[in-house]
Structure 1
């Protein structure tokens, strides 16, 4: 899958390739990921595709705990289908799309029929995923040793309304159901991904005129989806990164990097009331966020 983008520095047309990852090339592609991370691709964005929401949430005035109970119920009950990963070095993007075998429609795995049909309409081949896809346990082993996560990682992570994406990642990395307590879940997110994580949906609270989902925000900011389509994880991860690159200088150019870090790092939309003390406890000189974004 290929497409084109304007490099944010050179503004030249360059080709973007979404690298499709299956069981057969999983080790090879993780070797490439580690290589690019060592070459300075230290900002990562990601997106997950999953079989929809199974359990609804009807309390409009929900607390962060209510939201987490809802998130945990759905993540525990369903299996990931795709993961998109984009790495960025300040100039160029490298994009991967991991296809998992965990979800089996014919086996009767829990799913939302509307969501599954939407994924089919956007080109996802569920039978191929079952046959040729990645086992999440194999992915977990390679991710844990890749240098992208854990105590040795110096990555910055970008997502859009990404609490549920982190939910699937934590489920995969631990190979266990999510913790019962919200605090324990957040501690696992920070353990694996650090606090240098940014949720664009939360950042939009401070962006006058921005609201809605990723596609709407990208359209308003005139950010092109240069490859793939919505609900393809690789394409969505790239669009998330490009939207982040557009938002930071447009809305936060007046702030110093330390201020940006203290305002937004470690905060996930919907859980920010619980997390608000965390950013202030991390040294500002560890911030890489604003340096790469402008």
Structure 2
């Protein structure tokens, strides 16, 4: 087979040019000179026998062939990166960079427990963390911008696999003068007519909390952006809420003088799980980190 093939360098230049829309910015992003990048694109066009980029005074535009080439180039580069990561993982698991996403309702409370354990067990691991909402973390997994993500389960997502690492129960939290705070025993049914404070839409914890409440009236007009804000709203007397035990044990209510009680019987709000892209070369390493988490949740 004597067919001349594009180089990974040429494909990376093409993808970057598509992202930047300008030869000068693309060259800067690739840390090369503009003539070097322009020559590489022309060489790629000659190799493929088609025009990929229309050059104009206001920038560049991809031709239909260019758009198709960029889509395939992106996949080829991602597969090449997977090859490198798989080879490194086979030689020495959990060494080098590992990009871990974490949802905001887990990150501040679980990472302080996890990081020392992982650092001690895998001293050559370079852990890069990204905190974001579940859907964006899953997009990052699919785009290969993340190697794994700590999310709340269940969460049905095409192309994503996961393993549970532990259960996190809901606790009732209210100001001391709240009627339910005066009871010795609180059940989930006590919330049916209660207007609870919730997180904003987009937080999976909000959906888990609503699933506990059977009545449509059991939510407030107020919504918080974080669990810390939610706890402060409860302190201000705006209403009661449900908090994950993980967050309470992590100090989210410290110093607020709130009444925090478990339900009878216990209400499991969510499972915490490690997720990765199906077929990822980092699956084995994601599972190793997940094993480190068991017992910490």
**Larger strand share, 1 or 2:** 2
Q: TM-score, normalised by structure 1?
A: 0.24
Q: Determine which structure has more spread, i.e. the larger CA radius of gyration.
A: 2
Q: TM-score, normalised by structure 2?
A: 0.24
